[in-house]
Amino acid sequence: MLTPRSEDELAEIVRGANGPLSIRGGATRHLPGDGEPLTTRGLTGITLYEPGALTLVARAGTPVAEVEAALAGEGQRLPFEPMDHRPLLGTDGEPTIGGAVAMNVSGPRRVQVGACRDALIGVRFVTGEGAVVKNGGRVMKNVTGYDLVKLQAGARGTLGILTEVAFKVLPAAQSQATLRLDGLDADAAMAAMAAALGSPFEVSGAAWTEAGTFLRVEGLEGSVAYRTGKLLEVLAPWGLAETVDDPWADLRDARAVAGPGDVWRVHCRPSQAPALIAAVGAEAAQMDWGGGLVWLRVAAGTDLRAALPAFDGHASRVTGAADTAPQSGSVAALEAGIRARFDPRGLFSPMTETA
């Protein structure tokens, strides 16, 4: 396994590569593609952390756990609540911060504060030609030049190997409370979540599984108590919600859909979620982001896209070989053009083409 210890060494390897490189951080979120294995796990360390500026910069191979621990030490956190894929995929290894960025991994709080890409304010990466490139920086407001930071988030390493990532972070909440409504089907749950998210009470999580419909508020203690009371009123048409223990780590990691078969993620217009769930007849289903994200477990080999009615969004298989949403003609052409210019020799593409 190639394990470069510096950005320069990594660039040297890329310049000298004669064929595809199979890039991974901890390989906990995907099956690495074909090619010579290369990990960013040798590029570690938090290079800058200024709690007073809400800014953290880390090398790409730094474990997510190390970043989260450093932030927790100052009462702060990553806003986007990245999931741990290991329970769902049965992988082991250490999830890296660069991997979370490459997959744009965002958990339940995405519905309130945005995705990983929204918290990402700077990147360094090595292109397919072995050039070291930076974009964005360490300040949270920056419109200098084109935003390649967003382009790199979720590009699955196909536009370059990330070496360093910078985030806007947030204060951790002093307290949280979660309300659960029982016995709602997907339609009713979607409506209840929309009512809560449409209220001024700053819901930071809205999810549904067989175990109930969950709504979270976070903040200062008095504020959480106040908003919990207000949400009870908002949710009254759907029953009496009760306060429950913090379920968000399990919801974040999509534990409700873990099991044999294929697991898919569907990003959709929230109000379309119940119809998508109904159309598929899934073995297990979970809604997050107020319906904007649907997790579905179906029999292995099911062509989920063929089973879904037309909707606004996209579906990707998470388990097994990577299978990302196909794009329409003109968008596909733009994507292909960008990949060709960031990686002219096609060294980085195999990850999305695993068989």
Partner 1 sequence: MEMPPVDDFALAKKDALVTRLGEVLPGDAVIHTVEELKAYECDALTAYRCPPLAAVLPRTTEEVSAVLKVCHEMEVPVVPRGSGTSLAGGALPTADSVILGTSRLTDVLEVDYADRFIRVQSGRTNLSVTGEVEHEGWFYAPDPSSQLACAIAGNIAMNSGGAHCLKYGVTTNNLLGVRMVLMDGTIVDLGGAHMDAGGLDLLGVVCGSEGMLGVVTEATLRILPKPEGARPVLMGFDSNEVAGACVADIIKAGVLPVAIEFMDRPIIRITEDFAGAGYPDCEALLIVEVEGSEAEIEEQLSTIEEIARRHDPVELRRSTSEDESQRIWLGRKSAFGATGRVADYMCLDGTIPVSELPRVLRGISDLSEKYGLRVGNVFHAGDGNMHPLIMFDANKPGDLETCEEMGAEILKLCVEVGGCLTGEHGVGVEKRDLMSHQFDAADMEMQMRVKDVFDPSWLLNPAKVFPLDVTADRRAG
Residues numbered 214-273 forming contacts with partner 1, rule: CB under 8 A: 219-220, 222-223, 226-227, 267-271
By CB under 8 A, the residues from 95 to 114 that bind partner 1 are 104, 106, 110, 114
Cβ-based nearer residue to partner 1, 65 or 333: 333
CB of 329 to partner 1, least distance (A): 9
CA angle 39/54/109 to nearest 5° reads 75
Please name which of 158, 209, 159 lies closest in space to residue 180, comparing C-alpha atoms. 209
d(Cα 132, Cα 250) in Å, to the nearest integer? 38
How far apart CA 109 and CA 113 sit, in angstroms, is 6
Each residue 153-172 as x (binds partner 1 by CB under 8 A) or -, in order, gives xxx---x----------xxx
Q: Which helix (H) or strand (E) holds 55?
A: strand 55-59
Pick the piece of the chain touching partner 1 (CB under 8 A) from 28-36, 63-71, 132-140, 252-260: 132-140
For partner 1, the closer of residues 60 and 192 by Cβ is 192
Q: Which is nearer to partner 1, 41 or 254 (CB)?
A: 254
Contact of 116 with 101, CB cutoff 8 Å? yes
Specify which residues 292 forms β-bridges with.
none
Residue 17 and residue 35 in contact, taking contact as beta carbons nearer than 8 Å: no
DSSP run (H or E) holding 149: helix 148-152
Site for partner 1 in 287-346 (CB under 8 A): 289, 292-293, 312-316, 324-325, 327-328, 330-332, 334-335, 337-339, 341-342
Number of residues that bind partner 1 (CB under 8 A): 84
Query: What torsion do the CA atoms of 319, 113, 58, 40 make, to the nearest 10 degrees?
Result: 10
Residue 352 CA, distance from chain mean position: 17
Contacts of 326 (CB under 8 A, 6+ apart): 332
Q: Is residue 106 within 8 Å of residue 115, measured between CB atoms?
A: yes
Nearest approach, Cβ of residue 208 and partner 1 (Å): 15
C-beta closer to partner 1: residue 49 or 214:
49
Shortest Å distance, C-beta 336 to partner 1: 9
Q: Which is nearer to partner 1, 39 or 152 (CB)?
A: 152
Nearest residue to 277 (alpha-carbon basis) of 209, 214, 344: 209
Least Å distance, CB 239 to partner 1, is 19
Binds partner 1 by CB under 8 A, chosen from 16, 200, 260, 301 = 200
Q: How far is the CB of 262 from partner 1 (least distance, A)?
A: 17
Stretch 65-94 residues interacting with partner 1 (CB under 8 A): 74-75
CB of 123 vs partner 1, minimal distance in Å: 11
Whether residue 36 contacts residue 23, with contact meaning beta carbons closer than 8 Å, is answered with no
Q: Could you please report the per-residue DSSP string of 264-292?
A: EEEEE-GGGHHHHHHHHT-SEEEEEGGGT
Question: Which candidate, 99, 100, 158, 152, places its Cα nearest to that of 123?
Answer: 152
Contacting residue, 174, 237, 242, 259, with partner 1 by CB under 8 A:
174
Q: How far apart are CA 125 and CA 330, in angstroms?
A: 27
Q: Report how far residue 189's alpha carbon sits from residue 276's, in angstroms, rounded to the nearest whole number.
A: 14
CB of 260 to partner 1, least distance (A): 26
Nearer to partner 1, 90 or 222 (CB): 222
* Residue 210 or 306 having the CB closest to partner 1: 306
In the bound complex, what is the minimum distance in angstroms from residue 54's beta carbon to partner 1?
Answer: 6
Pick out residues in 3-42 that bind partner 1 (CB under 8 A): none
Nearer to partner 1, 39 or 315 (CB): 315
Q: How far is the CB of 96 from partner 1 (least distance, A)?
A: 20
Residue closer to partner 1 by CB (options 170, 211) is 170
